Structure 1
Amino acid sequence: MNISIIIPVYNEAQGIEAFIRELLATAVQIQTRWSAKIEFVFIDDGSRDGSADVIRKLDFGPFSSRLFVMSRNFGKEAALTAAMHKVENCDAAIMIDADLEHPPELMEKLIETWQTSDADSVYYYKSDRRSREGLVKSSVSKMFYRLMNFGTNVEIIPDAGDYRLINAKFLDALKNLAENQRFMKGLYSWVGFEQVGLPFAPGERTAGTSNFSAIKLILLALDGLTSFTTAPLRLMMLGGLAISAISILYGLYIVVEALFFPGVPPGIASILTLISLFGGLQLLCLGILGEYVGRALHEAKGRPAYIIREEIEIVTRKPSRSTRSRAKAKPKSTK
């Protein structure tokens, strides 16, 4: 059994060594239990703190390891896509983050579930977001998934992350998708197949802070919405119908008032309020339309989702106390 472990990395130099220690310990257990041949595929997404230099100097013992360094920061979705394209001849691939929020020891449960079921993909989902992230963030997340699944025939699984195992068929299906503006959580659901979810509580980061700020999370949510659902456009249409109906009723009210209550002075305040309301709604609708048009423009340009600056094969000797890794750099640009 061949297993490729995909690890996207972005500014994780402070904690990557602790992560790799736990990763190696788990890999030894997997190798022993299932006689698996394991390779590590690291994809450095334009880190600025020397993460790639730390990785290439480490010793991975008996496990083959490859490091791909991207030409700049393209984002996690592009990094995962790049790693998937580089993985070949494996029975399964496991995606895991390098910050220890995805505990490496849980990979054994992924493989065990995959081996004992008919699942093509086994994924972890957050079991209790409210206790970890608070009421506001968890509620916003729940609203986001409801909007994503509104009026679509593909259900995107709430709270399912990138910590998952996919078999060769699932991996090939993802590779064959031509779009370059990717929202991986949606693509996992879109390709279908048999998928099994397992609950887990994310661990604590070993060092540093999350690279996903509130702004980046909002932008990621917009990417997801414009990639997988036309719900915002449908809501715009329904909102327009509702406002038109209210306007007609309000117009009838004004006619009745003018005919039967001529002494009532005109309401300038209500007129200004309505103008402001409709002006804001028009700008909002134009912004939503702009997001869809912009996404279509990016896809039409046909630019690659990523560019790899350097490929490094980390060559290791057989395990011994004096074994140290040697990095052979093979510069290569990929479009």
Structure 2
Amino acid sequence: MNEDQGFSHRSALRTAGAGLGIGALGPGAAEAATSPASGPQAEHAPAVPPRQGKTMIGVPFERRGTVRVGIIGLGQRGGSMIDLFLALEGVRVTALCDPVREKTERAAKKVTAAAQPAPAVCTKDEHDFEKLCARGDLDFVHVATPWDWHFSMAKAAMEAGKHVGVECPIALELDQLWELVNLSERTRKHCMRLENCAYGHNEMRVPRMAHEGLFGDLLHSAGAYLHDLRGLMFDPDYYEGPWRRLWHTRLRGDLYPNHGFGPAANYMDVNRGDRAVRISTFGSPSLGPAAYRKENMPPDHESWKETYISRATCR
């Protein structure tokens, strides 16, 4: 559906997009994000800022003989994504960034082992990603860092003229999301939220089958995401430090709503014709992390200072 037919990133963010980010929005966001687009509660709907450029929906990426990729963050996600980039014909990894030098060096060895030129490395400090984004030998920046950094890194990439893909969540506040939409439309650079549960093999195969009519007319869908992450969140070798676990002490809400909603929306072309007009989140007591801690963590573990509040589902 093109912009003239009434759809853009703006209409998605005003309705579905605002709700999808509910787990990562600031105080008071839940009421605004779940309000309907019209009706008696319309005054609570998030305001839409003036457009600064044309929508990027439907705009193709430029054709290139070689796509040059830079990766920011080389932990579990970035460190595994580099293997996929190196396996793709026509893709070259030209720059790497992580303040932990050992991770960057390990990733750089993968690049040269794949018979590609040694990549540039940016390891000076947590802001060295700005140096990577400013390079002239990059077309696409992949952001795979702790959530606090996603917005500033996506912004830096587009301001430097690069397309950017960001692991979820793409930002933590609603005004940041609007700023990224405006920046993408103004710079004509794509800002794509990367998500394994929306773009995995099965998740991409099913919408193709649906769009080819193999399931008839889809009238109802149910999506869910069930994944016990507690062992990983308490594992210091998987997540560097407690940053991932601490989000369950800061925010009430569904931290991964699009894992369940995204694929189902793609199957039914939601926001490509029909659009979501209301999303609600329902919380329950956060008992799982505390139970895991009681069963597995020693009395002197740092997690005993934490109080967990996040445990929710999105409907």
When you count strand as a share of all residues, which structure comes out higher? 1
When you count helix as a share of all residues, which structure comes out higher? 1
Q: Which has the larger radius of gyration?
A: 1
TM-score, normalised via structure 2 length = 0.30
* Structure with larger RCO (C-alpha < 8 A, sep 6+): 1
